[in-house]
Structure 1
Amino acid sequence: MAKRNRLLILILTIGVFGILNTEMGVIGILPSIAEHFDVSITRAGWLVSLFAIAVAVSGPTMPLLFSGMNRKKVMLLVLGVFVAGNVVSIIAPNFTVALIARVVPAIFHPVYCSLAFTAAAASVSKEEASKAVSKVFIGVSAGMVIGVPIASFMASAASLQMAMAFFAVVNMAVIVATLLFVPSMPVEERISYGAQVSVLRRSTTWLSIAAVIFLNGAVFGVYSYLAEYLKTVTTMSSSAVSVVLFIFGGANIIGNVVAGKLLTDRAIQSVVSFPFVLGAAYILLFLFGQFSIPVAVITFIWGIIAGIGGNINQYLMMSSAPDAPDFANGMFISSCNVGTTLGTAAGGLLISGMGTPYVVFVGFLFLVLGFVTILLRNVRAVTQTNLNSL
């Protein structure tokens, strides 16, 4: 049983990597896409922004819609949609078709990811759930930070079509592994749509949503401009920037492993201390941003903290609605995308007004808002527990 569960979690991790790789990998080949379809780089960027918007919009609804179906069948359906979208992207005759081939899979994105988190947690004991979810998060981190340089390398070394074929191959491999090794996963206790949506009546749910938005905004409001920061403030070469970005990605994966143990043994303490730890990393980045070696070390530490933060966000949502796991995970994915969008927009505005060195201030602002929201959430949770005990 333990061996089968490990294999299931591994397949889910690779599956999530394939989904996130499809989402984020195009960032590394946007110039090639713009040239291929003869569009501006700004218009090519719609492939990223519209994908994120589709995920944010479908996050609360699509996992809810499929929550009563056999999870293995749903996963195969979503992976099939992604493979089809990948193939159409390769042979798309124009940019409009390529854009549609991106947006349609994006609508199904939250379904697979939410089911992956739920299935991983359900495959182990309640006490080990956080560790299982943290392993799936490795796929999230790898898809977000490793897929970009891989796609970029394949486009430059071979062709744009080969880079996009990489997305399809990964997703196709997961389909085969799911067919062969993932057991049927029927929903044993179906929760009505009304019962799942009713978790929105709880103030702790809305406070969790707000906390996820702020905490994710705190990370991506700064990380989205890390390459620009390294070039203009630290004055690194392009090759050095790539190395530091890889350092962040590797550290992010380490953070996921660390988070599993932290949230299993000291969940509340980890959640409350997170804004302070990340804030301390931003202070160091602001003070030593001009020096290459200190920045590389700080980025490594920051990457670990960011990896832990992703798991904390998922824990906040799941612990506020444990009776509707698929819906809660969908809300988590949607909230993360909203946070990323708001944080990135705020970071851009601050850079335009004050300059790149001060982008960390966006992180501080979102961390303060996140900490206040966490405190309010904890107070509300304690109050509700006391009322239920009466």
Structure 2
Amino acid sequence: MPFAVYILGLSIFAQGTSELMLSGLLTDMAADLGVSIPRAGLLISAFALGMLVGAPVLAVVTLRWSRRTALLAFLGVFIAAHVVAALTPGYWVLFGTRVVGAFVYAGFWAVAATTALSLVPDNVRGKAMSIVAGGLTVATIVGLPAGTMIGQHLGWRAAFWAVAVLSALAMAGVAGKIPGGRPAEVPDLRRELRTMINPRLWLSYSTTALCTGALLVTFAYLGALLARTTGIAESWIPLVLTVYGVGALIGITVGGRTADAHPFRVLTIGATGLILFSAILALTATLPVPVVILVFLLGAFGFAMNPALNTRVFALAGNAPTLATAVNFSSFNVGITVGPWLGGLAIDGGLGSPSVAWIGAVLGVAALATIVWAAALHRRAQPSGTVVPAERTMAELHA
């Protein structure tokens, strides 16, 4: 595996820590900025908004740039946004830096995914994506608690400085290890847009959004479920979240090793696991031991699908992958946004914390339906009587 792929994973870890760490800093931030905790929570929504829009917009704007130039530009703006955030005394300036930081982070994700997949042979694309996306998983396990700890002992601004420094180290790695120069074939915007007409691509985007929503609707309210329904002591909740992160890391590693050869199998098993374990969690939410085991399994099966969700879009996009990959990243963020929103509606409606797991199961059923549909379309597209791999190779796609 090229070292550059690991550099991209480190970069996602640095930026992903910023995405996640606010959940442990909101109380201190609200007090320091003189705003309510719900208003401070809007800083998380600001980040989600920036990510949702940033990937496709920046993918188009930087289409003719070299990938190294684009990645360095994104990291430079991200670092600057965090320096401003650490220095500002005002809420709205901080709000703006969250939008800007997320905007370029989304662009980095889109270009990093395309870059990683272009650096490796076809048969290890899933493994490459598991390393890149694994940066966010490690941010869940290490970055989130570390950012919270720094904030508790040195103030929330110190956490922003730490992210800026870590991102600067990642920037040095990108400058040294990501190939420079223009691509051998300069991307064509019209060709990229024509690729987006493919209905199978949009079916894949639906799978991405539904799978992500099915997982995140439960994860977003997991702390509340553990405290209010399961009755786990508050001091133990971070440990249970770490169990989720360990499951996610194992899942994305296994998924990365199998997604290239068996993408539909990985997606089917992952979605089935989400449905089954979400339903069992809803039924056993008051029992600590089953809940902890189920949290681990949800992380493992949910994240196992991540490499297949990415590599399948890359294969369907053929020789115009940049915009298609960017829109897939936005699809992840649709799931990240809509899943917790649905869970919030259920809780506000008096259905209780376990209801979010039932919503996860329903979204999982919808995701599984899109996977079965996509697999049927794939089989129908193959010549009769032939045995074919799960996806065409890149050489076939460029032919």
TM bin (shorter chain): over 0.9
2:74 is the counterpart of 1:73 = no
User: Equivalent of 2:83, from 84, 87, 92?
Assistant: 87
- Secondary structure of the 1:127 match is helix
Q: How far is the alpha carbon of 1:320 from its aligned partner? A: 2.6
Q: Which moved more, 1:371-380 or 1:77-86?
A: 371-380
1:287 corresponds to which residue? 283
CA offsets 1:136-182 (integer angstroms, 9 cap, x no match): 11102123453222211111112222111111111011112222333
Q: Does the Cα contact within 8 Å between 2:275 and 2:364 map onto a contact in 1?
A: yes
Q: Does the Cα contact within 8 Å between 1:215 and 1:313 map onto a contact in 2?
A: no
Q: Does the Cα contact within 8 Å between 1:248 and 1:299 map onto a contact in 2?
A: yes
2:204 corresponds to which residue? 208
Which consecutive unaligned segments of at least 5 residues does structure 2 have? 387-399
Q: Which moved more, 1:220-229 or 1:354-363?
A: 354-363
* Counterpart residue type for residue 156 of structure 2: L
2:314 corresponds to which residue? 318
The TM-score, its normalising length taken from structure 1, stands at 0.93
Q: How far is the alpha carbon of 1:335 from its aligned partner? A: 0.5
User: Equivalent of 2:373, from 376, 380, 387?
Assistant: 376
CA distance in 2, matches of 1:303, 1:127: 25
2:180 is the counterpart of 1:187 = no
Runs of 4+ in 1 over 4 A off after TM superposition: 384-387
Q: Which moved more, 1:23-32 or 1:312-321?
A: 312-321
Q: How far is the alpha carbon of 1:283 from its aligned partner? A: 2.8
Q: Does the Cα contact within 8 Å between 2:213 and 2:340 map onto a contact in 1?
A: yes
CA distance in 2, matches of 1:77, 1:183: 15
2:357 is the counterpart of 1:357 = no
CA distance in 1, matches of 2:157, 2:136: 24
CA distance in 1, matches of 2:56, 2:173: 28
Q: Which moved more, 1:229-238 or 1:304-313?
A: 304-313
* Counterpart residue type for residue 169 of structure 1: V
**Over aligned residues, Cα RMSD in angstroms?**
1.9
Q: How far is the alpha carbon of 1:384 from its aligned partner? A: 4.2
Q: Percent sequence identity over matched residues?
A: 25
Q: Which moved more, 1:119-128 or 1:142-151?
A: 142-151
CA distance in 1, matches of 2:191, 2:233: 54
CA distance in 2, matches of 1:329, 1:105: 20
* Counterpart residue type for residue 358 of structure 1: S
2:26 corresponds to which residue? 30
1:19 corresponds to which residue? 15
1:97 corresponds to which residue? 93
CA distance in 1, matches of 2:365, 2:175: 46
User: Equivalent of 2:52, from 43, 52, 56?
Assistant: 56
CA distance in 1, matches of 2:91, 2:213: 30
2:233 corresponds to which residue? 237
Q: Does the Cα contact within 8 Å between 1:211 and 1:370 map onto a contact in 2?
A: yes
CA distance in 1, matches of 2:253, 2:371: 23
CA distance in 1, matches of 2:65, 2:182: 7
Q: Which moved more, 1:166-175 or 1:261-270?
A: 261-270
Q: Which moved more, 1:46-55 or 1:283-292?
A: 283-292
